Amino acid sequence: MIPAASNAMIMSRRHWLALAALALTRTAFAKDVPRRALVGAIRWDAWYAPGSSVTSAVERSLSPEPYRWRRPFFSRQDETDHVHMPAISQGLMDLEIAQARYAGLDYWAFLAYPSDSTMTAPLLHYLTSTQRGDLRFCLFTELSAWGSREEPAPLLNEQLRLMSNEAYLRVEDGRPLYYLGFITEQRAKERWGGGDGLRHAIADLRVRGTASGAGNPYIVVGVLPRDDIGFAASLGADAVGAYTIADGHMTGDYKALAQIAKDGWRVLAATGLPVVPTVMAGWDRRPRVETPVPWERSQRQGAGINYFFASPQAPELAAHLREALDWQNAQPAGRRAPAVLIYAWNENDEGGWLVPTAPCDQARLEALHRLLRQGAAGDPPGCAWRE
């Protein structure tokens, strides 16, 4: 899922913050919240920095013949059948925005990295795009990126500035939606001295957000349903959710994966918190099992190659999303989170994606368009972009 942030400098921190401020003056956003839950998808942006260790790793993982069909539409295959990714450009980001809007997404949840990471480049291009319209953004931050009680990460200062951006997604009472994920009791103990320390850090983020003018964040803590979910309920969050809900020791069809996700929503609901249900667009890690990536240090080549779920047909994926929306609507008013989260926009080598695959398979976008846009007119945006 989340590699350690690259040390490659793509922009100075000052330039990055200037771009974020510039975006405040661009593009009007609709203020009305849809009657249904807001639907978003995780962006994991490893694909756009050729030559970096992260992009090189995903190029290798998708190069074996059985997995090339998953590669994003913007990739290419050379004469030796090796997969190559291009550098991010404004034209490419503008096209992906159009694709997401066509599908009916309300927001992207960008995996959060420091401003000097190559993983942040797509967010920068999103912020400066004049095409993003009402496709908003929020942040999904790994707990380890917060640093520790002794040494809080400067990333939080950058994130508070971003929460003031006009394009940042706001939910009830104008609060910025914020995901804090990959939380376990053990990690809280190691970095924050336990649950009390992490709870105080979360409370401090609220104070700082309010003082900065960004607002009191609507915080969704991300855990795994198989972990001690009671711990999540003690952290002072507004809701609970998960980056993924799967089973890494099973094999099955997509229906089985969707059922695991639905069971997970019900387990998370036992915390007593509102639940942001995670919709699984797939779970098939075989590319990373056959060709391990450097940030998954415990993965041995070939270990677990038989555990995966079949990729969904587009109508199956839309039906799973429909189930999540219906489940959300059925919750009592005080226990109803304002959002649904899809795993993922572009976790292609891990198995969950909405982004068109090469050369231009837009079936998943079209299925979501029929569900979320209620038959609105318009053709899918295609896969050609201007550099």
The helix/strand/coil state of 241 is: strand
Neighbouring residues of 235: CB distance < 8 A, sequence distance ≥ 6: 183, 195, 198, 199, 202, 221
pLDDT at 9: 34
pLDDT at 109: 98
Neighbouring residues of 333: CB distance < 8 A, sequence distance ≥ 6: none
Q: Which CATH class is domain 37-372?
A: alpha beta
Q: Which residue ranges make up each domain of the chain? A: 37-372
Of the pLDDT bands very low, low, confident and very high (cuts 50, 70, 90), residue 225 is confident
What are the distances in angstroms from CA 13 to CA 6, 16, 46, 200? 15, 5, 20, 28
The helix/strand/coil state of 90 is: helix
Of the pLDDT bands very low, low, confident and very high (cuts 50, 70, 90), residue 29 is very low
Which residues in 256-386 belong to E strands, given as ranges?
A: 278-280, 339-343, 346-347, 352-353
Q: Which of 44, 42, 181, 59 is nearest to 119 (CA)?
A: 44
Q: Which residues is 159 bridged to in the sheet?
A: none
- Mean of per-residue pLDDT scores for the chain: 91
Q: What is the pLDDT of residues 255-294, one digit of tens each?
A: 999 999 999 999 999 999 999 999 999 999 999 999 999 9
Examine residue 319 and say whether the peptide bond preceding it is cis (omega within 30 degrees of 0).
no
β-pair type (352-353, 346-347): antiparallel
Helices (H), 137-245: 155-163, 185-192, 195-212, 229-233
pLDDT at 136: 98
The helix/strand/coil state of 127 is: helix
CA dihedral 272, 278, 283, 288 (to 10 degrees): -90
Residue 174: pLDDT above 50? yes
Q: What is the pLDDT of residues 176-212, one digit of tens each?
A: 999 999 999 999 999 999 999 999 999 999 999 999 9
Residue 238: pLDDT above 70? yes
pLDDT at 358: 97
What's the whole-number mean pLDDT along residues 74-97? 96
CA dihedral 215, 266, 344, 64 (to 10 degrees): 150
Residue 28: pLDDT above 50? no
> Is 240 in contact with 271 (CB distance < 8 Å)?
yes
The helix/strand/coil state of 77 is: strand
The helix/strand/coil state of 184 is: coil
Q: What is the pLDDT of residues 315-348, one digit of tens each?
A: 999 999 999 999 999 999 899 999 999 999 999 9
Distance CA 94, CA 73 (A): 14
Residue 31: pLDDT above 50? no
What are the distances in angstroms from CA 228 to CA 71, 232, 233? 36, 7, 10
> Is 110 in contact with 158 (CB distance < 8 Å)?
no
What's the whole-number mean pLDDT along residues 75-99? 96
Residue 8: pLDDT above 60? no
Q: What is the pLDDT of residues 354-379, one digit of tens each?
A: 999 999 999 999 999 999 998 688 89
pLDDT at 3: 52
> Is 163 in contact with 176 (CB distance < 8 Å)?
yes
What's the whole-number mean pLDDT along residues 39-50? 98
Distance CA 4, CA 171 (A): 30
Residue 67: pLDDT above 90? yes
Amino acid present at 251: T
> Is 181 in contact with 143 (CB distance < 8 Å)?
yes
Residue 4: pLDDT above 90? no
Amino acid present at 56: S
The helix/strand/coil state of 107 is: strand
pTM for this structure?
Answer: 0.92
The helix/strand/coil state of 226 is: coil
Classify residue 180 as exposed, middle or buried by CB count within 10 Å of its CB (0-12, 13-18, 19+): buried
| Length of the chain (residues) | 387
Number of Cα atoms under 13 Å in the Cβ half of residue 205: 33
Between these two residues, 29 and 78, which has the higher pLDDT value? 78
Residue 2: pLDDT above 70? no
Distance CA 319, CA 337 (A): 20
Of the pLDDT bands very low, low, confident and very high (cuts 50, 70, 90), residue 118 is very high
